[in-house]
Structure 1
């Protein structure tokens, strides 16, 4: 097994196409063609984490946060980022970061928080825009069924809980090949009319390459006519944050105690208590002030996130309970999620959960 094989598993869970534009995800250090010796999973990659990888004979570190975020103009060891990268390179250890790709994944960071809080009826809080596309292609009637099957097998036509979804319209296509053409029907330099089926299917943007490959392989024409349109539809499966419900409502004090215990945090900063029961809860791991209005718009009773600033708490506006559990604390279960996932996929190599505490915040 190579490092690339592990990357393929990770990108099936959290395609990099859904990472935020500002982020730096993927393989940051190392050679993806190298044979794998083991995987160390961590929230952050620090020098101590690289030492831990060395001790466990792991030549791949899977990190939630990227160690290289901004461009490096030199690597001389002048700060913790450069020292970490140097040590990884010296010891032939690859570093892969998954960050906001996993934030946006349906079974990612926020799913882990929902599970920890025992929430039910979970759905995406802020669906990612422009992540759904539509393919429209034109196929001879006799080949329509085989082309549809190929597209479905490649992942096209899945909408929520339904698969093999398409819309089909019959009509007539016209074309005329030149001297260099090798038409599968009709003759060169003669106008040909063919009874065709227009097939329309929706797909998620990370699937585009594999779907087009399936289309070209299955389509009988030398030149395949197709359109790809980016849709404004909300993607039910991809986006920031999640919102769900407690099975039984709690009063605010009970909820905050429950939250403190479940999220293993020593401190919760929260907005004014409103004297209302808490049942519907929005969550977003990491810095989540940008989603306060979305949580309010979906009538959440509480919003659990991190890194709220002083003025952010005013945004509660007596409508919602804002709870800041801490950045590290909101994402701490991510490495467990990744370790469990990779352990199921990789049975012949060690997948090690890092024991290094990478939380830079201390409490007095």
Structure 2
């Protein structure tokens, strides 16, 4: 199995198209055609993680966080990023990062937090915009059903719990082929009129290249008239954070105690308690201050996230509790999630969970 084949398996879970614009995801170091001997899954790629990969004969590291985030002008080993890059290259170690692609995945980072906290009826807290595209094209009526079936087969026409969705209108199309053309229907130099169908269907944006390729490969016309636009609609399965409910409401201090225990955090920084039960819980792994307004709008009793600044706790405004449990603590189960997923997809392959502790924050 090659690095690229492993990447394609990961991208079925979390397509890289849904990573945030600021992020750096995918294969960061290495050659996609390299044969994989073993896979080491980690939250962060540090020097000790590369050493662990070498020791365990793993030449592919799958890391949640990208080791290369900003541009590197020199690689001289003067800081921890450069030292990791040097050591990986010197030892033929490939490094792949999935980061916010997995954050925005329906079965990703935040779904895992909800699982640990045993939340029910969960859904995306902040659906990502621009994830749904619409294809519109024209085709002879006689071949319109064939084209729709080919497009449905690669994922076009799927909307939530529905599949094979499309809209068609019949009419008369006209065109005149030049002497350089090779028309499927009609003759050169003569205006041709054909009974055609105008067909529209939606598709997720990460399938755009595949959908257009299938359309062009199966359409009979030499020149295919089509357009692709981005819709304002949001896909409720793609986005940041999640919100769900406890099976039974809990008191505030009882919930915080449970949170501390299940998320293995030594301390919780939180806004003022409101003296009311906790039932509806919003979560967002990593730096989640931007989700406070969404959590309030969704009616959450508490938001569990990390990396909050002093003044951001004021944004609770007596409407909910904001709990900062630590960046590492919110994402610690991510590598387990990836190992579990890969072992289901490639059960006979050497996949190892990194034993290296990469949390840079210590508590006294």
Query: What is aligned with 2:357?
Result: 357
Mapped to 2, the partners of 1:181 and 1:206 lie a distance apart of: 33
Query: What is aligned with 2:272?
Result: 272
Query: What is aligned with 1:7?
Result: 7
Per-residue Cα deviation, 1:99-137 (whole angstroms, up to 9, x for no partner): 111111111111111111111111111111111110001
- Alpha-carbon distance, 1:184 to partner: 1.1
Mapped to 1, the partners of 2:14 and 2:195 lie a distance apart of: 41
Mapped to 2, the partners of 1:166 and 1:276 lie a distance apart of: 48
Query: What is aligned with 1:288?
Result: 288
- Alpha-carbon distance, 1:348 to partner: 3.0
- Alpha-carbon distance, 1:251 to partner: 1.2
Correspondence list, 1:1-364, <5 A: 1-364=1-364
Mapped to 2, the partners of 1:252 and 1:102 lie a distance apart of: 30
- Alpha-carbon distance, 1:347 to partner: 2.6
Per-residue Cα deviation, 1:170-200 (whole angstroms, up to 9, x for no partner): 1111111111111111111111111111111
TM-score between the two structures when normalised by the length of structure 1: 0.99
Mapped to 1, the partners of 2:150 and 2:111 lie a distance apart of: 32
Mapped to 1, the partners of 2:237 and 2:202 lie a distance apart of: 13
Q: Which runs of 5+ in 2 are unaligned?
A: none
TM-score between the two structures when normalised by the length of structure 2: 0.99
CA RMSD of aligned residues (A): 0.8
SS of corresponding position for 1:267: coil
SS of corresponding position for 1:152: helix
Per-residue Cα deviation, 1:23-75 (whole angstroms, up to 9, x for no partner): 11111101110111010000000000001101111100000000011111110
Q: Following superposition, which runs of at least 4 residues in structure 1 exceed 3 angstroms of deviation?
A: none
Per-residue Cα deviation, 1:342-361 (whole angstroms, up to 9, x for no partner): 11112332010000000000
SS of corresponding position for 2:28: strand
Mapped to 1, the partners of 2:93 and 2:43 lie a distance apart of: 16
Mapped to 1, the partners of 2:218 and 2:237 lie a distance apart of: 28
Mapped to 2, the partners of 1:158 and 1:119 lie a distance apart of: 27
Mapped to 2, the partners of 1:64 and 1:334 lie a distance apart of: 7
- Alpha-carbon distance, 1:165 to partner: 0.8
Mean alpha-carbon deviation: is it higher for 184-193 or for 89-98? Answer: 184-193
- Alpha-carbon distance, 1:267 to partner: 0.9
Mapped to 1, the partners of 2:56 and 2:148 lie a distance apart of: 48
